[in-house]
Amino acid sequence: MPAKLPSAILRTTCLVAGLTLLALSGTRVSAQQDGRALIDRELFGALDFRSRSFEACADRPVCVVGNVTVTAERQTEDGASWTPARLYWDPVDGLGITDGAQNDEVDIDERLSIRFAAPVRIRKIWLSDLFLGEEKRYGAAGNDRVEGVPDDVEVAGIALASEGREILNFTVKGEVELPDHQFNQNVSTLFLEDGDLRRRLLIDNDVITVIADGTGAGGAALSLRIPLGQVDADKRGVFEGVETVEIDLSTILSGFRNARMFLAGTQNFDLLKALSFDPDGLAELRETAIRQRAAGDWSNGELGVELSDKFEVDTVRFFAPFDSSNDFSVAGIIVEGGTPGVAN
C-alpha cells in the first residue's frame, strides 16, 4: 500500500496505473519550477540520463548502464498487460519512449522503469518537457480529465517500488508556461517543430478525438472520434472519494494505437541517430543546451521533484496519467551516496 503520512502533509492526487484510476494521499514532495540552470548543476555527478552513457539505450526496449537497467513498455490494447516498447534518448531532455503520441516522451499508455542493482535512497528526480498552457499549440484547452488539476496542465506520474512491492505512488504537474518556440530549436536549428509529434489525443466531454496523419505521406490531418459513453462519468460520480475506480480504456487505446502516425514525427530522432556517428556533434548539442538554460529565456519544462522521505527502493517507474496532453521526459535521478556505477 502507498505510504500514509500525517494529515498535516497530506494532499490528494489522481493517477492512472494500468486501467485503474487511483485517488491517493500525497507525500512530502516539493517541486521547483525554475529549474533551467539548477538541473545541470544538480545532475552533475548524479544519474544524468542526458549523458552519453545512456545513448546506447536509444531504440532498445531494455538497456543496462552500469548498475542501472532502463525498460520501456506500452500497455496492451485490452489493458491487461504490458508489452516491450522502444526507448528514446537525447542529450537535451534525457529518456522517453518512441511512437505513442510524442516520439520523444512518456505518453498515456507507456511506462519507463529505472531499476537499480541494489536498493538506493532517492533524494530528487528531475523531469523535463512538463508544461502548462499547451492549448495555444495543440488545442488542448478544456480537454483535461485528471481530477484536482487545472485544465491544460501536464501531469507526470512517479511510482517507487522495492522487491516488486509499490511503496509510493504520486503525481506532479507542470509549472512553466509552454514557450512560443520549442527549446530544442533554440539549441539547434536542425530540430524541427513537431518533429516528434506522432499523434495527438484530445478529450471533449464524452468523445475522444485522435489527430493523426490522413495520408501516411505528410498530408492533411485526420480526426478519429471515439465516443466514451456516459459510463465513465457515472463511475466517477458513484465512486467519488473511493480509493480505486476501474475505467475500461481498451476502446480508447485501440483507436489511438491504430491511428496512422505523422511520418514527420520521427525526424528529430532520426537526426540524433545520425549524430551517433558524430560524438562532437552530440557533445555540442549538450553544451549548447546547458548554455541556453543558464542564460536563455526559453524553458524546457524542467521540474525538480524532491522527496523529504528517503525510502529505500530498487525501482522508479514513470507514467503519464490518462489525459489529453500528458507527456514528459526523464532527465535524471539524484540518489544518496552518488551515481550507482554510471559514468557521466
pTM score of the predicted model: 0.67
Mean pLDDT of 240-250: 43
Judge whether 198 lies within some domain: no
Judge whether 134 lies within some domain: yes
Q: At 146, list the grid cell.
A: 485528471
Q: Cα 143 to chain center, whole Å?
A: 18
Judge whether 295 lies within some domain: yes
**Beta bridge partner(s), residue 64:** 69
Number of domains in the chain: 1
Judge whether 235 lies within some domain: no
Predicted pLDDT at 218: 44
Judge whether 23 lies within some domain: yes
The DSSP code for 236 is H
Judge whether 232 lies within some domain: no
Mind listing the pLDDT tens digit for each residue in 25-48? Answer: 345 566 555 556 789 899 999 999
- Residue-number span of the structural domain to which 23 is assigned: 7-182+242-253+271-335
Total Cβ atoms within 10 A of residue 47: 29
Predicted pLDDT at 126: 96
Q: At 76, list the grid cell.
A: 496492451
Q: Where are the alpha helices (DSSP H) in 207-327?
A: 231-238, 250-258, 267-275, 279-295
Judge whether 12 lies within some domain: yes
